[in-house]
Structure 1
Amino acid sequence: MNIMSIIYNVSNNCHKFERNSLIQSSSIPPQYLLVPYNEFTLRTSISCHSFKFDKPKKNLSNFHPKFSPYLRGIFPFVIPYSNITFNDIENFYTKIFLKNQNQTSFASNITFENIPYRYENGMWYPIEVISAQRTAILVPLQNRDYNSKVFLLNIHAFARRQLLTYIIIFIEQVYPLRSRFNKGRLYNAGVRYIQQQQQLLNITCLILHDVDLIPENDGNLYSCESTHPKHTTTRVRQLNNTQRYTRYYEFLIGGVLLLTLDMYKIVNGFSNLYWGWGGEDDDLSLRLIQRRMCVIRPNYDLAIYVALPHRRGQRNHARFQLLTWSTVRLNADGYGQIDSMIRIINIRKTFTVTHLKINVNADQNLYKSSSMKNFQSSFSKNYNYITTNSGTITTPRIF
């Protein structure tokens, strides 16, 4: 067996998702990408080209959102005044949510319907049905106070139109101060928290959601598929542009991604090494390809979003070097390694959100910098070998 068959487990049946995937070995990146990464993404497909969405039956005790009587099509999202507070949102959904209410101190012309819901142990439940899935909406944050309030105000109303059973979890990077954003560590930390709370929450569907994206059509169903991850951010427009939608490159899976906890574990979650803007989502795409998993997408007319304005974070200049050998370190860099790297320093639970505040550099000697030179030294010291199901591979040089 050669080195490539060890890395990619070619001789084995990878897992239950492989049989429906049309991703062939020719699409799998080699140990090192031999072409520029941008070229690779342009010529590589991650979409499932032959698949069927799950076909649930209408059942009030195992309810799928496609049968919700509250689906209206266009979702009338609300952009509140800048003075909105989290308490305003809390009061809106727990105390003063009156039918046809369209005027508050923090927004005007609110047309959200008053759909019967109850709250218990962090989860919101529809009164009329028992949802087929129990959904966690995970939102990573850093210095996005207003965006997070706009998102929270809208996403509750959107989820209720689909009669979801759901919890919203903010995962905020608060320490070290002034450190660059590490979205991968935050998602891994959020999923780890869910895993620790599974006896209480029993989550069956994860939604990885950027805070600046608001869905515009309630036919964009926030339900996981049983066989494939689902990417719903197919077209996005800026808030001040009512007509023009941008369709992103096919390889992209950032924005909003739905998958089960098992799928997340199969790819070992996100890499923990991406500091700053860019790279972590494409790294996850490579992990999915390596595990022979393709991604499905809803109809373009439904999977549309408005993007809230925000300042883009500092660019990660090491991202292309990290991406070049992403799959080689898959088993040694991800969700399975997150416990030693982060610390949850505060958990605040309210009716509208569970808010985790995270120290993303709890072990300051491990993965301290995004620079490739510092990373190589740290990686060589701590991970001399990468273990796969087929054996042990000596860590390759990356320079």
Structure 2
Amino acid sequence: MSLLKLFVILSISGLFLVVGYGIFINLFDFLEINVTPLPFCPEISPLTVGIQPVKWQIQTWYSMMENQTELQPGGHYTPQNCKSRHRVAIIVPYRNRNAHLRIFLNNIHPFLQRQQLDYRIFIIQQLKTGPFNRGMLMNIGFTEAQRIYNFTCFIFHDVDLIPENDKNPYNCVDSPRHLSVAVDVFKYQLPFKNIFGGAIAMQADQFKSVNGFSNQFFGWGGEDDDLFNRVNKKMMSIFRYSEEISRYTMIKHVKQYPNPSRFKILKESNYEVDGLNSLNYKLDLIEERNLFTLVAVDLKPA
């Protein structure tokens, strides 16, 4: 076999490169520097800066996309220079809050990126009219997110809460975490010790063990208290960082009409039969937009 013919065969196979007349090297050795796994990101990101003012200007979708050139489709981000220690799904229940959503996204993306997280934002939109069911939307977000990626942490987050301090880590620990400890409308103090709403973080097995949120709370109120009870029944403690770290600003909005039956539903709630295992909804679409993954659904009573 001629040298030329041998060179053609090896070149086609992709195993060798010619770097000079009659000199061959293994292609995989040549590219070794490019296939070396990235190092893990530091335990504490060096990019965090502490308390930052909320960016209140409502940006256009186009301008926000221009500022987020490193985002992958669906609002998915991974650090370029290191491998994140956390794969985080941000689950946001949503309906008819366009201005709030734009403020939220404009603040939350740089916040999460400074923490060097591997994350994706899911906006779970309730279609049609009727009472809003925050708990069921959270359950749907958890269910659909698991089908897309192997997340290690799920953060259930209201669209009107903006974190102020990026040293408040958006990750999960061995206990369920209450993130939004100190909110401006409560004078940056914990209103009561049993509160477990606004923004929380749970590992998948923790959320499954309590069977997720109740699906019964149509209208404002009750689902957070019920989730606290579920966590308590499973003998799990709730972890919180200090009020200085866990600071949030709430976007002003018109309060929803309270669910008049919330106390009765709360009293009769049974986490074993009401939750992830009784979830009933119609998936209208899943769409990977530039800044987030949209999950649009019609809700059905459990």
Which residue is 1:79 aligned to? 56
Q: Is the 8 A contact 1:118 1:126 kept in 2?
A: no
User: SS of 1:62's equivalent?
Assistant: coil
Q: Map 1:69-148; keep pairs closer than 5 Å.
A: 69-81=46-58, 84-94=59-69, 117=70, 119=72, 123-148=76-101
Name the structure 2 match of 1:61. 39
Give 1:17's aligned residue: none
Which letter does structure 2 place at the counterpart of 1:360?
L
Q: State the 1:321 CA deviation.
A: 0.8
Residue 194 of structure 1: how far off its partner (Å): 1.4
1:281 match: 224
Is this contact kept in 2: 1:205–1:259, CA < 8 A? yes
Q: What corresponds to 1:395 in structure 2?
A: none
AA matched with 1:334: G
2:136 partner amino acid: R
2:290 corresponds to 1:351: yes
Aligned-pair distance for 1:212? 0.5
Q: Which amino acid aligns with 2:114?
A: R
Counterpart CA distance in 2 for 1:311 and 1:290 is 33
Residues of 2 paired with 1:145 and 1:207: CA distance? 21
Deviation at residue 283 of structure 1 after TM alignment: 0.3
Shift of 1:295: 0.5
Q: Secondary structure at 2:256's aligned position in 1?
A: coil
SS at match of 1:206: strand
Q: 8 Å contact 2:74–2:288 — kept in the other structure?
A: no
> Does structure 2 conserve the Cα–Cα contact (< 8 Å) formed by 1:254 and 1:281?
yes
For residue 150 of structure 1, the aligned residue among 103, 108, 114 is 103
- Which of 228, 249, 264 aligns to 1:306? It is 249
What SS class does the counterpart of residue 313 from structure 1 fall into?
Answer: coil
1:234 aligns with 2:173: no
In percent, how many aligned pairs have the same letter?
35
Structure 1 SS opposite 2:103: helix
Instruction: Indicate conservation of the 8 Å contact 2:74/2:289, yes or no.
Output: no
Q: Report what 2:276 is aligned to.
A: 335
TM-fit CA distance, 1:67:
2.1
| Equivalent position SS for 1:331 | coil
Structure 2 unmatched ranges of 5 or more: 1-37
How far apart are residue 344 of structure 1 and its match? Answer: 1.6
Larger Rg: 2
For residues 145 and 246 of structure 1, the distance between their equivalents in structure 2, rounded to whole angstroms, comes to 28
Aligned-residue Cα RMSD (Å) equals 1.7
User: 1:159 matched to which residue of 2?
Assistant: 112
**Which contiguous aligned blocks of 4+ residues in structure 1 show a shift greater than 6 angstroms?**
none
Listed one character per residue, the Cα deviations across residues 162-181 of structure 1 (whole Å, up to 9, x for unaligned) are 11110000001112x2x011
Give the Cα separation in 2 of the matches to 1:356 and 1:120.
Answer: 14
Q: How many residues align?
A: 265
Does residue 172 of structure 2 align to residue 224 of structure 1?
yes
Assess if the C-alpha contact under 8 Å between 1:75 and 1:158 holds in 2.
no
1:264-319 per-position Cα deviation (integer Å, ceiling 9, x unaligned) = 10000000000111000000001001111111001111001000011111211111
Find the residue that maps to 1:247 and give its secondary structure.
coil
Normalising by structure 1, we get a TM-score of 0.64
Q: Is the 8 A contact 1:118 1:127 kept in 2?
A: no
C-alpha separation between the residues in 2 aligned to 1:159 and 1:72? 12
Q: CA deviation at 1:121?
A: 7.1
Q: Tell me whether 1:204 sits opposite 2:152 in the alignment.
A: yes
Which of 132, 147, 155 is the equivalent residue of 1:181? 132
TM-score, scaled to structure 2 = 0.83
Cα offset, 1:145, TM superposition: 1.1
* Secondary structure class of the residue paired with 2:183: strand
Q: How does 1:249-264 map to 2 (within 5 A)?
A: 249-264=192-207
The superposition leaves residues 136-180 of structure 1 with CA deviations (integer Å, 9 ceiling, x where unpaired) of 1110012211111100111001001111110000001112x2x01
Partner residue in 2 for 1:265: 208
